[in-house]
Structure 1
Amino acid sequence: MANNDESVSIELATGTDAPAILKLMKQLTTESDTFTVDPGLAQLSIEQEQRQIMLINQTRSNVILVAHFSDEIIGVVTVQQLHDSMDGELGVAVLKQFWNNGIGTALVDEALNWGTSFSNLTRMVLTVENQNQAAIHVYHRLGFVDNLKRRIIAVPGNETATTEMTYDLN
């Protein structure tokens, strides 16, 4: 994947990342059926995304971290505080050409580090498709535990069984 001069770095997203993040999200929706994006994201302008990133960076309960390789953003992890709780919902995605290189694991690990060291959240939660056994294995290895909450997510034309997983930040 990388030669000796290039490596992947994980950093806090900034406003200057907005165009690349919007491009990444658009590409990710075409590469994976285990990744969903808020439909409103497609309507965001670069300026609106820059403002969203700025507002997110001012909180202790939300974060966007990006993985850079060369001059390209190749992955993202987000934590968004769930309404009326101290839980943060974690979402992660990496471009398909970079799968199986540990980038997703590194992004989640960095989000957990942020959650433990900087956030005011008490727990991370995520929803994973039961068929995505590779991701489930990674989440277990990082310390997530299965919650008893299981549900079916209905995407037009497709119903998928999922499991909620949690990670205590205390």
Structure 2
Amino acid sequence: MSDALELTIREAIPSDAAELLTVSRKIGEETEFLVMDEKGIHLPEELLAIQLADLYESETNVLFLAFLGDQIVGQASLKSASEKRIAHIAELGVSILQAYWGLGLGTILMEELLEWAEASGKIFRIELTVQAQNTRAIALYEKFGFKQEGILERGARGNDGRFLDVVLMSKMIDE
């Protein structure tokens, strides 16, 4: 990131709900790399605010927001299951507004997520899925030690309806 950009990374709070909905819709419109489409997060603002409050209090879930000034430009999350046998596994997600791709924001968000996971003492495996066509994201994940575990053939559909392969990747936290 440029030193001239004043970037702030912090956990999401309930008052972020409205802007987060707006940003998620825009990200969904800009790329087919995500499961999320142009509808963004499918929740009313009030329900999202409640979920953000729960996330903020969680020991095994986190949502970081990246701000330039007071504008959300990216988000990164770890989400674990509530079932005891798999509560040590978190699913990772990162999305950034297209205007901010290639500036190192993904690297910064990944560093924040992995530091948080290690400090949690509760997350020991992180999983993610990424479209095989998203080579920049795959390179980012590999840079942080994620390994490919398999290919989900026809794991997603492109905006034009074609099937897309999806790569399953993971990283062990205590290794």
TM-score, scaled relative to structure 1: 0.89
1:92 corresponds in structure 2 to 94
1:66 corresponds in structure 2 to 65
Letter of the 2:59 partner, please give it.
Answer: R
Runs of 4+ in 1 over 2 A off after TM superposition: 1-4, 37-42, 148-152
1:161 to 162, 165, 168: 165
Q: Secondary structure at the match of 1:41?
A: coil
TM-score, scaled relative to structure 2: 0.87
2:49 corresponds in structure 1 to 50
The structure-2 alpha-carbon separation of the partners of 1:36 and 1:133, relative to structure 1 and needing over 3 Å to count, comes to same
Alignment of structure 1 residues 9-28 onto 2, 5 Å: 9-28=8-27
Stretches of structure 2 that go unaligned for 5 or more consecutive residues are none
The structure-2 alpha-carbon separation of the partners of 1:140 and 1:59, relative to structure 1 and needing over 3 Å to count, comes to same
Aligned alpha-carbon RMSD (Å): 2.1
The structure-2 alpha-carbon separation of the partners of 1:2 and 1:130, relative to structure 1 and needing over 3 Å to count, comes to same
Aligned residues: 168
Q: What are the Cα deviations for residues 77-107 of structure 1, in whole angstroms up to 9, with x where unaligned?
A: 1111146412111010000000000111211
The structure-2 alpha-carbon separation of the partners of 1:62 and 1:163, relative to structure 1 and needing over 3 Å to count, comes to same
Q: What are the Cα deviations for residues 97-147 of structure 1, in whole angstroms up to 9, with x where unaligned?
A: 000001112112211111111251211100011111111111111111111
State how far apart, in whole Å, the 2-side matches of 1:129 and 1:65 are: 22
> Is this contact kept in 2: 1:60–1:119, CA < 8 A?
no
Letter of the 1:111 partner, please give it.
Answer: L
The structure-2 alpha-carbon separation of the partners of 1:151 and 1:61, relative to structure 1 and needing over 3 Å to count, comes to farther
